[in-house]
Amino acid sequence: MKLQSRQVNGNGFSYPVELHEDLNGLKEKLASLKDVSKFFIITNRQIAGIYEKYLFAELKSLSIPFHIIYVKPGEKNKHIDRLKKVYHELVKEDADRKAVIVAFGGGVIGDFAGFVASTYQRGIRFVQVPTTLLACVDSSVGGKVAVNLDLGKNMVGAFFQPEFVYAPLFALSTLPRREWSCGLAEIVKHAFLEGGELLNRLESTSRKDFHSGAEVLRYCIDESVRFKSSVVEQDEREGGLRAILNLGHTTGHAIESVTKYAKYSHGEAVSMGLMTALLLSKSVLGFSETNIERAVKMMKALELPLKINEKINEIIEHMDHDKKKEGSTLKFVLLEDFGKPKFGVSVGRDKILEVLKFQKGWDLLGR
Ligand code: NAD
Ligand code: GLY
Annotate 262-308 with DSSP letters as a single string: TSS-HHHHHHHHHHHHHHHHHHHH---HHHHHHHHHHHHHTT-----
**Is the CB–ligand 2 distance for residue 141 below 6 Å?**
no
Rounded distance, CA 172 to CA 2, Å? Answer: 16
Same domain, residue pair 189 and 132: no
Q: Which candidate in 122, 177, 215, 260 is catalytic?
A: 122
Of 146, 174, 202, the one marking the end of a domain is 174
pLDDT of 366: 47
282 and 201 in a common domain: yes
3-state SS string for 120-175: HHHCCEEEEEECCHHHHHHHCCCCEEEEEECCEEEEEEEECCCCCEEEEHHHHHHC
β-pairing verdict for 152-159 and 165-168 = unpaired
Instruction: Count the neighbouring beta carbons within 10 Å of the beta carbon of residue 270.
Output: 30
pLDDT for position 152: 85
Asked if 22 and 57 sit in the same domain, the reply is yes
Segments of the chain scoring below 50 in pLDDT: 365-367
- Asked if residue 200 and residue 161 are part of one domain, the reply reads no
Instruction: Tell whether 123 and 238 lie within a shared domain.
Output: no
Q: Which of 174, 206, 231 is the last residue of a domain?
A: 174
- Please tell me if the CB atom of residue 108 comes closer than 6 angstroms to any atom of ligand 1: yes
Per-residue pLDDT at 364: 59
Q: Are residues 277 and 302 in the same domain?
A: yes
CA of 75 from ligand 1 middle (Å) equals 8
- Closest ligand 1 atom number to CA of residue 182: 25
What is the length of the chain? 367
Q: Are residues 214 and 348 in the same domain?
A: yes
Same domain membership, residue 149 and residue 215: no
Contacts of 155 (CB under 8 A, 6+ apart): 146, 147, 148, 149
* Domain span at 111: 2-174
Domain CATH for 292: 1.20.1090.10
Q: How many structural domains comprise the chain? A: 2
CA distance 33 to 14: 14
Claim to verify: residue 111 and residue 239 sit in the same structural domain: no
Active site residue 228: yes
Distance CA 345, CA 8 (A): 29
What stretch of H or E contains 317?
A: helix 312-321
**Domain identity same for 202 and 344:** yes
Given 29, 78, 125, 266, which residue is catalytic?
A: 266
Closest C-alpha to 76, from 227, 256, 261: 261
Query: Does residue 125 carry a catalytic annotation?
Result: no
**pLDDT score at 365:** 45
Pairing status of strand 2-10 against strand 13-20: antiparallel
Q: CB count, 10 Å around CB of 208?
A: 11
Of the listed 6, 246, 318, 331, which one is catalytic? 246
Contact 199, 274 (CB under 8 A): no
Task: Give which of 42, 1, 58 is closest to 162, Cα–Cα.
Answer: 42
Please write the tens of the pLDDT for every residue from 91-146.
Answer: 999 999 999 999 999 999 999 999 999 999 999 999 999 999 999 999 999 999 99
Distance 78 CA to ligand 1 centre (A): 10
Atom of ligand 2 nearest to the CA of 238: 5
Q: How far does the centroid of ligand 2 lie from the alpha carbon of residue 353, in Å?
A: 27
99 and 42 share one domain: yes
Distance CA 303, CA 250 (A): 21
Active site residue 242: yes
Task: Tally Cβ neighbours within 10 Å of residue 362.
Answer: 16
Measured CA to CA, the distance from residue 163 to residue 241 in angstroms comes to 24
Nearest atom, ligand 1, residue 183 CA: 25
**114 pocket-lining for ligand 2 (C-beta < 6 Å):** no
Q: How much is the pLDDT for 323?
A: 54
pTM: 0.96
CA distance 266 to 256: 7
Distance CA 203, CA 293 (A): 11
124 and 255 both lie in a single domain: no
CB 119 within 8 A of CB 101: no
Of all atoms in ligand 2, which is nearest to the CA of residue 228? 4
Q: How far is the CA of 318 from the centre of ligand 2 (A)?
A: 20
The Cα 143–Cα 17 span in angstroms is 12
In whole angstroms, give the CA distance from residue 261 to residue 279: 24
For residue 151, the domain's CATH number is 3.40.50.1970
Q: Are 355 and 279 in contact (CB under 8 A)?
A: yes
Position 236, amino acid: E
Does residue 267 have its Cβ closer than 6 Å to ligand 2?
no
| Domain boundary residue, one of 132, 153, 174 | 174
